[in-house]
Amino acid sequence: MPAAIKWSEMDWEEVNEHISRKVVMEDRLMMVLYRFDPHQAWPAEMHEAEQGGYILQGKIELSLPAEGKKILLGPGDGYLIGTKVAHSWETLEEETVLLDVFSPPRKELFQKKFAPKATEKSPGEAE
């Protein structure tokens, strides 16, 4: 993988009808550029990899159940999630584009085609 990444020259890979991604990976670092339709709910998960992210477009509500927190993040905001920390999130009213970074890489995301349990959430739907 070259040092320079030209996201605009990469094709979007469909994960499902509401989510697409672009992925680059080295031995110890993985970056995933995601594009989500509005009202997508990501189920609670935890994993060995540390995770960081940056919101480029749209908004997400990040949930950290162990801390009892829900945090609204928009363009220019980011997050850091430690190893084995439960988290979930959902997109809001508009298309959302975010960059996720994992160390070490989450190779299972390729085997499962990632987001197998992500669901569409109706506006105003209770949790």
Q: What is the pLDDT of residues 3-43, one digit of tens each?
A: 899 999 999 998 889 999 999 989 999 999 999 999 998 88
Q: What is the pLDDT of residues 17-27, one digit of tens each?
A: 999 999 998 99
14-48 burial: b if 16+ Cβ within 10 Å, else e: ebeebbbbbbebeeeebbbbbbbbbbbbbeeebbe
Q: What is the pLDDT of residues 85-108, one digit of tens each?
A: 999 999 999 999 999 999 998 887
pTM of the predicted protein model: 0.85
The pair phi, psi for residue 31, each rounded to 5°, is: -120, 135
CATH architecture of 33-107: Sandwich (2.60)
